[in-house]
Copies of this chain bind each other. A is one copy, B any other.
């Protein structure tokens, strides 16, 4: 009986989870392609094939659905980042090159229209809004991850190099959307590599 109950509960949980997952997947896609404010709740539930009460049972509000989508995007990015930097573990210079190349590659995908976190912060400019706060928090984490690698290198000024690369990444993401995949984004790899080389060449304790 206990098992039956548990099994039954699992099934309910599973079905709830599936509805929530389906909603999050559909919402992420629509938010990313059309923009968050341009996408209404009705469109999301229609496309996901679920009811509106089901959405509110899973997420409470549109803002909660948005933050759930951004957390999902951040999780995937974290996994990709760790995968990329683990390829050249112990070689921070190569880790940077791998990270830049991977960013350039994913930014140039046909469906890319920039970074969902950056775009969300544009649509929610109020710094106290949960969507803006979450985007900012995740970007801080990404900036720190870049700095952690650079601090292992004899860079002239690690903070300036990390932030310079961060600006190039951010610029590449928005330019991807603005220029429809062509244009300035093609300079990401050579510009980022030149910035790293210049910083290492000026280091007070140059690499061997």
Contacts and interface: CB of A to CB of B under 8 A. Distances in A.
Interface of A: 33-35, 37-38, 113-114, 117-119, 121-127, 135-136, 139-140, 143, 157, 159-164, 166-175, 177-180, 183-188, 190-191, 194-195, 197-199
Please give the count of copies of this chain that the complex contains: 2
Given A164-B194, A168-B167, A174 B118 contact: yes
A114 B183 CA distance: 20
A151 to B, nearest CB: 15
A86 B78 CA distance: 46
A63 to B, nearest CB: 13
B166 A168 contact: no
A30 to B, nearest CB: 11
A164 B178 contact: no
